[in-house]
């Protein structure tokens, strides 16, 4: 799974532009993981929903 994550990040973020500073790159990686990858990006292993949506549906099932 980690290889898949690194490949996705490489294609969707790192290969798209040049970074002027290490801080700029660090901030971009943080935003990619915390904002896009974990909250918005749909994952095939989760039946094509985002991790946040998946967690919410699991909580709803547990309380029902």
Residue 53 CA to chain centroid, in angstroms?
A: 13
- What's the rounded Cα separation, in Å, for the pair 61 and 64? 5
Handedness of CA 14, 17, 22, 27 (dihedral sign): negative
**CB–CB of 41/48 below 8 Å?**
no
- What's the rounded Cα separation, in Å, for the pair 18 and 23? 13
- What's the rounded Cα separation, in Å, for the pair 35 and 27? 11
pLDDT of residue 28: 95
In the chain, which stretches have pLDDT less than 70? none
Please state the domain extents for the chain: 19-63
pTM score, two decimals? 0.64
pLDDT of residue 29: 94
């Amino acid at each position: 799974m980690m290889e898949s994550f690194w490949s996705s990040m490489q294609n969707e973020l790192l290969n798209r532009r040049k970074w002027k500073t290490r801080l700029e790159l660090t901030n971009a990686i943080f935003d990619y993981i915390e904002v896009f990858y974990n909250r918005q990006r749909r994952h095939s292993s989760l039946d094509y929903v985002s991790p946040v949506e998946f967690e919410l549906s699991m909580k709803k099932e547990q309380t029902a």
